[in-house]
Structure 1
Amino acid sequence: MTQPSRRSSQADPAPSPAKLARVRTVAQDAMRGARWWTLLDLERILRADTEFWRDLWAPSLAIAAHKVGLRNARSRLDEAIDAGFHQTDLFEPELSAAFGADPDWQRVIERARANVPVPALRLTAWPEPGPAAPLRLDRAEAHRVPQLLPRLPRPGEGAWETAKTLLGWTAGLWRHANARINAGDALDVLEQVANGARYSCVEYSIVLAQGLNALRVPARRVWLRRGDYHDGIGQGHAVAEAWIDDLDQWVLLDGQHGAYWADEHGKPLSLPELQARGHPARPVHVGARELMKDPALWAAYFAHASVSGIAWEPKGFVPVFQDGQVLATERLVRDSADAYPRLSDLAIGVTAIGGAPAVELKPVHPYAVAGSWNGETITVQGRQRFARVLDREPGEHRAALAAVTPYGPLASRELRWTAS
């Protein structure tokens, strides 16, 4: 085997990219094939490879020099550690086999470990959406929404005012009857009502849920059932529910009665809250008619329920309704919490804007139109929606993140990070 004619710690002038690529390939093949003299012959050129010298070639050459019995073989490793090398584990067990018997080897390893730099950026806290089943809203077909919107009341300043206005309006459209349209959307119902038709609670729920979604208030239909709903008559009632941005919660809405339910302090209630109560809640009417004469009677319908796409039963589900109709559901769960995503939640992604680390807001709310970062609205930047570059000023940082809907920003979530 021919020994190299020269040994020097000096690097050759920077080679051309093409030459450097060829040398890297030869060096890698030499390492894999244990051709140590071939690798050592490339040392002067490899020293000019500033991208990989410290972390790859220097420790590899130290191993190669030991393999062929050169004096001061470890000097290349010491040089790399002095320059900041710390990834000794990538070269084990060869490094320990070569230099583990040196009396100062443990100190060498400790020096290398001390070179691990503090990360320039670390996210320490970020928002995560709670677990929930996929959300399915009751919406009119997209091509029908432009025809539906002109028939609806104008949206209010907030989501709650909009929902109450539409709730009262829906209740006043017709007097309840037991007729069913059996097919069609809110637009079909409204057109038939304009011709004198009268319908049941089901059609009120269709108009209310699809009307709310057209006004960018997330809503879905709800089917309420009495405790013994598998037999008898009058065992079910159809209503709707909506996520109210400014209340940061779901609220149950009865389109037939133009009512929602509130607790003793006037707080509007969700269906799970109504199911958990030991006594009837107070109905609050916003329509022209007060039809709910016996709240206790109607509260009995909260015994069992399902919403668009999901049903829950902690003790066991009876899949047949009073008339033998199968109660189909896309998903059956035990806990109602699985059916109620918090629509002010958001997730984050990490992306790059102009080569700099950035955070991308990923709202849960289906009608989010922007993000908010410490109160500043962010929309689209480059290819990212709702993204913002992270502050790299050394220290600890915090930001209040929120989704923004047509009714304004939602409840905020905190992001924290450190920079050094």
Structure 2
Amino acid sequence: MARPSQSAPLAAPKLARVRTVAQDAMRGARWWTLLDLERTLRADAEFWRDLWAPSLSIAAHKVGLKGARSRLDEAIEAGFHQTDLFEPELSAAFGADPDWGLVLERARANVPAAPLRITAWPEAAAAVPLRLDRAEPHREPQLLARLPRPAAGAWETATSLLAWTSALWRHANARINAGDALDVLEQVALGARYSCVEYSIVLAQGLNAVRIPARRVWLRRGDYHDGVGQGHAVAEAWIDDLDRWVLLDGQHGAYWAGEDGSPLGLREIQARERPARPVHVGPRNAIQDPGLWWAYFAHASVTGAAWAPEGFVPLFQDGQVLPTERLLRSAADAYPRLSDVAVAVVSAEGAPAVRIEASHPYAVGGAWDGEPIAAPPGPHAAERRFTRVLDRSPGGHRAELAAVTPYGTLTTRTLEWTAA
């Protein structure tokens, strides 16, 4: 049977109708109907090689036409390789041919290399959802207006705010018992003096207002379920420049440091066998006995979570309940590394791209090999600042990804891919 000549491309509405008729004919084993459409189906450049040509070979065999396999051979010559989609019909029709094994090998050899393959990518470590201690969104701008102006770096900003907080009033055991940092500041302006709890509120909510992730921390002595003076409230913050969580004591205007002077986080302090050294940045309420205050690190909880490997005691000294949103066995689960990033694969105007998914709650964009990703103004500009199209030039590729915050670019993570 002579091969029909290639037909001109079909208009979309007519092509859709022809495809429907051809599909129905295949399902209903109406082989002559399908064969009558061959000239038209050849104009379907999208499906001719991979669908219609092998289907027509089967149809031609079913009705006993000579040269039935020619459409299949033509398709394989053009790159067809999905023979499995047409089994067992193909083998039933042509499996007895002496060269059938070679035909299948030719088809399998047509499978092209993947045009793009991502081979290594960053993943964020598992952790419980992060809960920060923030003022209500509509009140945060008012709080921000009362705070010291942020510095260029996160650590400098945090220590400046720590010193400022500790200098606001002299410690007293009074409690405001309600309200947020603005309420505390307004009452302090009228002469009120408060406890460690209010220092922690002002410090944590102030840090978040200047886009440093922070939450409150409740410290408790080993036998906190009975007695007095068994607890202390502080704050902790993720410091971009240090790539770590750091404990900040608003009452004492201090942070705790290791032997090399590096600021310590809560977990590091709890793991020590001897007291860390308090470093004071505030003008008053200095820690006079580090050993006494270090005892408060026996037990701890943070905004949103508490941990107790040996069992949690939910009652505090006077019988009050210690609520927690999430009870954990490991403190590590409460400490996401906020410089972590993950990646999503997206389409950017039809091209494969990756979008940086930042763990940092105040990320404003992504960086690619040290340079912030540029995005023109307009709709979806914020999302585009995290998105980059992958280089499709042949060979191996590598990029260093990072989140960008108001204080700079965070620690990088590696992405690798290959293109054919």
Same fold by TM-score, threshold 0.5 exceeded? yes
Equivalent-residue separation in structure 2 for 1:247 and 1:215 (angstroms): 17
Equivalent-residue separation in structure 2 for 1:144 and 1:18 (angstroms): 58
Residue 289 of structure 1, CA deviation: 2.6
AA aligned to 2:194 is Y
Equivalent-residue separation in structure 1 for 2:350 and 2:160 (angstroms): 48
Name the structure 2 match of 1:325.
Answer: 320
Equivalent-residue separation in structure 1 for 2:287 and 2:162 (angstroms): 15
Would you say 1:148 and 2:143 are equivalent positions? yes
AA aligned to 1:333 is L
Name the structure 2 match of 1:255.
Answer: 250
1:132 pairs with one of 127, 133, 147: 127
Gaps of 5+ in 2: none
SS at match of 2:269: helix
Would you say 1:183 and 2:178 are equivalent positions? yes
Equivalent-residue separation in structure 2 for 1:151 and 1:22 (angstroms): 69
1:7-406 residue pairs with structure 2 within 5 A?
Answer: 8-289=3-284, 291-380=286-375, 383=380, 384-385=383-384, 386-406=386-406
CA contact 1:400–1:412 (8 Å) conserved in 2 = yes
Equivalent-residue separation in structure 1 for 2:117 and 2:148 (angstroms): 48
CA contact 1:11–1:46 (8 Å) conserved in 2 = no
Q: How many residues are matched?
A: 415
AA aligned to 1:44 is R
Equivalent-residue separation in structure 1 for 2:177 and 2:29 (angstroms): 79
Q: Greater shift after overlay, 367-376 or 350-359?
A: 350-359
Residue 189 of structure 1, CA deviation: 0.7
C-alpha distance after superposition, 1:52-80 (max 9, x if no partner): 00000011111112222222222211111
Equivalent-residue separation in structure 1 for 2:294 and 2:99 (angstroms): 80
SS at match of 2:124: coil
Equivalent-residue separation in structure 1 for 2:213 and 2:406 (angstroms): 12
Equivalent-residue separation in structure 2 for 1:329 and 1:226 (angstroms): 18
Residue 276 of structure 1, CA deviation: 1.4
Equivalent-residue separation in structure 2 for 1:135 and 1:419 (angstroms): 37
Equivalent-residue separation in structure 2 for 1:122 and 1:186 (angstroms): 50
CA contact 1:379–1:387 (8 Å) conserved in 2 = no
Equivalent-residue separation in structure 2 for 1:372 and 1:243 (angstroms): 19
AA aligned to 2:396 is E
Equivalent-residue separation in structure 2 for 1:57 and 1:10 (angstroms): 15
SS at match of 1:316: coil
Residue 355 of structure 1, CA deviation: 2.1
SS at match of 1:72: coil
Residue 282 of structure 1, CA deviation: 1.2
Structure 1 runs (4+) greater than 6 angstroms displaced: none
Q: Check 1:318–1:101 CA distance in 2 against 1; reply closer, same or farther (3 A cut).
A: farther
AA aligned to 2:414 is E
Residue 146 of structure 1, CA deviation: 2.0
Equivalent-residue separation in structure 1 for 2:419 and 2:232 (angstroms): 56
- Report the aligned-residue RMSD: 1.5
Name the structure 2 match of 1:408.
Answer: 408
Q: Greater shift after overlay, 38-47 or 196-205?
A: 38-47
CA contact 1:344–1:363 (8 Å) conserved in 2 = yes
C-alpha distance after superposition, 1:162-196 (max 9, x if no partner): 11111111111111111000001111111111111
AA aligned to 1:399 is A
Equivalent-residue separation in structure 1 for 2:95 and 2:230 (angstroms): 81
Equivalent-residue separation in structure 2 for 1:399 and 1:28 (angstroms): 46
SS at match of 2:138: helix
Name the structure 2 match of 1:3.
Answer: none
CA contact 1:8–1:44 (8 Å) conserved in 2 = no
Name the structure 2 match of 1:417.
Answer: 417
Report % sequence identity: 76
Q: Greater shift after overlay, 339-348 or 14-23?
A: 14-23
SS at match of 2:241: helix
SS at match of 1:142: coil
SS at match of 1:246: coil
Q: Greater shift after overlay, 217-226 or 11-20?
A: 11-20
Q: Greater shift after overlay, 279-288 or 289-298?
A: 289-298
Q: Greater shift after overlay, 370-379 or 191-200?
A: 370-379
Equivalent-residue separation in structure 2 for 1:45 and 1:330 (angstroms): 66
CA contact 1:369–1:379 (8 Å) conserved in 2 = no
What TM-score, normalized to structure 2?
0.95
SS at match of 1:391: coil
SS at match of 1:143: coil
Residue 359 of structure 1, CA deviation: 1.6
Residue 291 of structure 1, CA deviation: 2.3
C-alpha distance after superposition, 1:394-414 (max 9, x if no partner): 111111111111111111111
SS at match of 2:188: helix
Residue 252 of structure 1, CA deviation: 0.6
SS at match of 1:306: strand
What TM-score, normalized to structure 1?
0.95
